[in-house]
């Protein structure tokens, strides 16, 4: 949930505070009981799932525990969070790989994953359009990009570098340039947006062709 390349602004929460919060039992409980059903929007991930900006792996732990056949690749840009995730997900050895990965330059094969999860991660990347393109590229045809993010002006993120956070309507515009068969985008609260995007199953694309639409 925190691909922290951008690192927030002077008014945003510090990464040390974020790491402490995400490592608490309360955060894991809230993830499983509240965040997971809200963010997944009725979707039950199956097959192989990629989570980008996974933080300490709280969502991954919940999904791996509740879906025994699920396989996951769990990533974050922050090595400290990756180290915590590796420890917390060790009990799922054989079904999960944890790696330090840049969401704007995913090192995975095209058309690989059944689901890509992006939970409050895009605004951290510094180039959310590029990250969306990367996610679509590694989805198999018919696969789904699921998650939510903050919009520009969100509380505690007023100091973020201009352009790093999306505005209303910009996600729809970006998806219109990508091989997408359908998208459900819902405003949430005052400054959030939830999305469920399906990759077009009838479009064949060449490597990197569509990854950076809108950049």
Task: Identify the pLDDT of residue 147.
Answer: 96
Domain count, the chain: 1
Task: Identify the pLDDT of residue 44.
Answer: 94
Task: Identify the pLDDT of residue 164.
Answer: 77
Q: What is the CATH number of the domain that holds 123?
A: 3.40.50.150
In a domain, 212, yes or no: no
Tell me the whole-structure pTM to 2 decimals: 0.84
In a domain, 215, yes or no: no
In a domain, 209, yes or no: no
In a domain, 176, yes or no: yes
User: DSSP readout, the chain?
Assistant: ----SS---TTSPPHHHHHHHHTSHHHHHHIIIIIHHHHHTT----SEEEEES-TTSHHHHHHHHH-TT-EEEEEES-HHHHHHHHHHTGGGBTTEEEEE--TTS--S-TT-EEEEEEES-GGGSS-HHHHHHHHHHHEEEEEEEEEEEEBTT-TT-TTSPTTSSB-TTHHHHHHTTS-EEEEEEEEETTTEEEEEEEE-SS----TTTTTTTT-
pLDDT string in tens for the chain (215-residue length): 556 564 444 344 555 655 656 667 777 778 877 889 999 999 999 999 999 999 999 999 999 999 999 999 999 999 999 999 999 999 999 999 999 999 999 999 999 999 999 999 999 899 999 999 999 999 999 999 999 999 986 665 555 555 678 999 999 999 999 999 999 999 987 789 999 999 999 865 555 555 555 55
Task: Identify the pLDDT of residue 41.
Answer: 94
Task: Identify the pLDDT of residue 196.
Answer: 98
In a domain, 21, yes or no: yes
Task: Identify the pLDDT of residue 94.
Answer: 93
In a domain, 72, yes or no: yes
In a domain, 92, yes or no: yes
For residue 81, the enclosing domain spans: 15-199
Task: Identify the pLDDT of residue 208.
Answer: 54
In a domain, 68, yes or no: yes
Task: Identify the pLDDT of residue 12.
Answer: 46
């Amino acid at each position: 949930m925190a691909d922290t390349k951008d690192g927030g602004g002077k008014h945003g929460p510090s990464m040390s505070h974020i790491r402490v919060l995400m490592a608490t039992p309360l955060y894991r409980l809230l993830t499983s009981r509240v965040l997971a059903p809200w963010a997944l929007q009725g979707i039950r991930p199956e097959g192989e799932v990629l989570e980008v900006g996974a933080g300490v792996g709280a969502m991954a732990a919940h999904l791996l525990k509740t879906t025994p056949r699920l396989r996951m690749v769990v990533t974050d840009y922050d090595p400290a969070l990756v180290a915590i995730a590796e420890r917390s997900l060790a009990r799922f050895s054989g079904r999960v790989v944890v790696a330090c990965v840049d969401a704007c330059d995913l090192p995975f094969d095209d058309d690989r994953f059944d689901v890509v999860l992006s939970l409050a991660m895009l605004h951290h990347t510094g180039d959310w359009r590029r990250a969306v393109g990367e996610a679509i590229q590694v989805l198999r045809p018919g696969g789904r990009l699921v998650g939510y993010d903050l919009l520009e002006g969100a509380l505690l993120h007023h100091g973020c570098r201009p352009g790093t956070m999306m505005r209303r309507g910009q996600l729809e515009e970006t998806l219109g340039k990508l091989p997408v068969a359908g998208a459900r985008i819902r405003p949430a609260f005052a400054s959030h947006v939830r999305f469920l995007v399906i990759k077009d199953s009838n479009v064949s694309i060449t490597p990197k062709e569509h990854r950076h639409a809108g950049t």
